[in-house]
């Protein structure tokens, strides 16, 4: 391999690593907002402790979050009800109680993120349509913006200071909404690529498990057939 090719390969690896890193950061950020919607402010920290890990001890989670074990379980049960986390439990032989070990359900989390992003994009497109088709007015003193319907109801004078409304420019708003739509659509595309990859892996594993099961059954049938043949031969010999 030439020096030029090596350099290109290194550059490509760096770009791929950067994209993967940004995807993970974006996923964590979105997941935190969803978790806090479901389980309350501050509960998003749990994503840092579970993201890309498996079977995390609930006592470790409680310690890192500086919460009681019951408070942590309350958060995790809410997430479990939504299918975002799963658990296994093991008995502590020394103390005699069960300890729960928690894992983020990556596919379910991504499906939830996909739905949230699709909803946000839909809302933004509705806002964009309103900005493109409707007129808005603003009070020069209070800087309060109102729809044309509200301005008409108030005889085009501000309800706070009685100043006459002026027509608001929509260009900046339209540009800002378009930028938000593009950002959310990029995030959605990355989520969907990640989801496709996970589903393909699951499908490969399913097919592999099916093939193993078929091979196992085939071997068992062969053994039974062989044993049956031996028994038949032995029976014939005994008759002679």
**Mean pLDDT across 13-31:** 63
Residue 164 has pLDDT above 70, yes or no: yes
Contacts of 126 (CB under 8 A, 6+ apart): none
Nearest to 33 by CA among 122, 100, 101, 119: 119
∠ Cα 28 34 37 (to 5°):
140
Nearest to 40 by CA among 87, 72, 81, 86: 72
DSSP state of 55: S
**Residue 139 sits in the same domain as residue 168:** yes
Whether 89 is in a domain gets the answer yes
Distance from C-alpha of 163 to C-alpha of 57, rounded to nearest angstrom: 62
**Residue 96 sits in the same domain as residue 131:** no
Residue 204 has pLDDT above 80, yes or no: yes
Domain count along the chain = 2
* pLDDT of 109: 85
Of the residues 78, 104, 130, the one at which a domain ends: 104
Distance from C-alpha of 49 to C-alpha of 54, rounded to nearest angstrom: 10
- Do 136 and 148 form a contact (C-beta atoms < 8 A)? yes
**Mean pLDDT across 93-108:** 87
Whether 227 is in a domain gets the answer no
Residue 182 has pLDDT above 60, yes or no: yes
Residue 128 structural domain: 109-195
**pLDDT bracket for residue 229 (50, 70, 90):** confident
Of the residues 104, 126, 151, the one at which a domain ends: 104
Residue 21 has pLDDT above 80, yes or no: no
Whether 234 is in a domain gets the answer no
**Mean pLDDT across 178-198:** 89
**Mean pLDDT across 40-67:** 90
**Residue 54 sits in the same domain as residue 68:** yes
Q: Beta-carbon neighbour count of residue 131 at 10 Å? A: 20
Residue 17 has pLDDT above 50, yes or no: no
**Residue 70 sits in the same domain as residue 128:** no
Whether 179 is in a domain gets the answer yes
Whether 230 is in a domain gets the answer no
**Mean pLDDT across 150-166:** 90
Across the chain, mean pLDDT equals 84
CATH code (residue 79)? 1.10.10.10
Of the residues 104, 134, 159, the one at which a domain ends: 104
């Amino acid at each position: 391999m030439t020096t030029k090719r090596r350099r290109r390969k290194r550059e490509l690896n760096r770009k791929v690593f950067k994209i993967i890193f940004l995807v993970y950061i974006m996923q964590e950020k979105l997941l935190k907002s969803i978790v806090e919607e479901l389980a309350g402010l501050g509960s998003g920290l749990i994503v840092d402790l579970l993201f890309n890990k498996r079977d995390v001890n609930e006592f470790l989670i409680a310690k890192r979050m500086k919460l009681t074990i019951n408070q942590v379980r309350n958060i995790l049960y809410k997430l479990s009800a939504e299918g975002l986390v799963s658990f296994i439990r093991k008995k502590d032989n020394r103390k005699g109680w069960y300890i729960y070990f928690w894992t983020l359900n990556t596919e379910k989390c991504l499906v939830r993120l996909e739905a949230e992003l699709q909803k946000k994009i839909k809302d933004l497109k509705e806002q964009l349509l309103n900005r493109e088709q409707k007129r808005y007015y603003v009070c020069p003193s209070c800087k309060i913006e109102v729809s044309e319907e509200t301005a008409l109801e108030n005889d085009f004078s501000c309800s706070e200071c009685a100043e006459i409304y002026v027509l608001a420019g929509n260009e900046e708003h339209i540009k800002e909404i378009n930028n938000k739509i593009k950002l959310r659509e990029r995030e959605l595309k990355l989520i969907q690529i990640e989801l496709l990859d996970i589903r393909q892996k699951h499908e490969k594993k399913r097919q592999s498990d099916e093939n193993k099961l078929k091979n196992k059954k085939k071997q068992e049938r062969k053994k039974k057939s062989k044993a049956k043949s031996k028994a038949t031969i032995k029976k014939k010999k005994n008759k002679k």
